[in-house]
Amino acid sequence: MKKILIIGAGSQSSINPEIKGIGTCLVELLSKRNVEILFTYFKSKEGAENLKKIKSNAKIDAIKFNCLEYERDWKNLELNIKKTEIPNIFIYNAGIRFYKKILTKEEKQSTLDVNYSCPLFLINKIGNLMAEKYKKGTIIITSSILAGKHHEFLEEYCYTKGLLDKYIQKNKANWQNKGIEIHTIYPNVTITPMTEQRFDYYRNLVKEKKLKKLYTAKEVAKSIIKYI
């Protein structure tokens, strides 16, 4: 049975319940399979609890994890994944962005921590656990660096996502030698709770033919599943 760890799920719009995060859609799609899923949430406790209760063929559990405090929270996460068994598929879906022309020092640090430092830390921790136990495994990263092409205030976001992408490209062969395959998904502008406040802006880009289309979170989740 495949054991899947997803960092970043449970989010759902408080305005329109049909709008869900990529991680939430991913858990919903995977729930139709005979797999074990452990996903993390941060602020989306209610959404996480609801996600755990969906009718499912999978075994689903959730744990709170703060990507801004990843070194501190890793101890608890490590205990949970070792208690249920080390995953053979690890998906990092968390991200943070600030739609501001000038970011504060704290906002820049938060963007770096969530989009680069935390996933880098977890890739090494979990990747090595998978390699030691199974001699193989899969890591999947969502990296929305394309979003910056359509918004002038996302330079810091795209920069930090780009740093992670450079690490993956540089180290992919080293991980393959350990039996670990790393795949990166590059969604374009996606309809999620993170972007819903700017839907009008993005819809206008589509009308002006500056953007091909708006993707749904479910479409992105389906593109992830093909690697599982």
Q: Is 31 helix (H, G, I), strand (E, B) or coil?
A: coil
Q: Structure pTM? A: 0.94
Measured distance CA(35)–CA(57) in Å, rounded: 8
Tokens read off for 33: 């399979």
Report CA torsion sign: 46, 126, 80, 77: negative
Measured distance CA(88)–CA(179) in Å, rounded: 11
Q: Which domain holds residue 150?
A: 3-225
Report CA torsion sign: 20, 22, 24, 30: positive
What was the pLDDT predicted at 12?
87
Q: What is the CATH number of the domain that holds 199?
A: 3.40.50.720
What was the pLDDT predicted at 202?
84
pLDDT tens digits for range 54-81:
999 999 999 999 999 999 999 999 999 9
- pLDDT digits (tens), the chain, 228 positions: 899 999 999 998 878 888 999 999 999 999 999 999 999 999 889 999 999 999 999 999 999 999 999 999 999 999 999 888 899 999 999 999 888 889 999 999 999 999 999 999 999 999 999 999 999 999 999 987 766 666 677 888 889 999 999 999 999 999 999 999 999 998 888 888 888 878 888 888 889 988 888 889 999 999 999 999
Domains in the chain: how many in total?
1
What was the pLDDT predicted at 196?
80
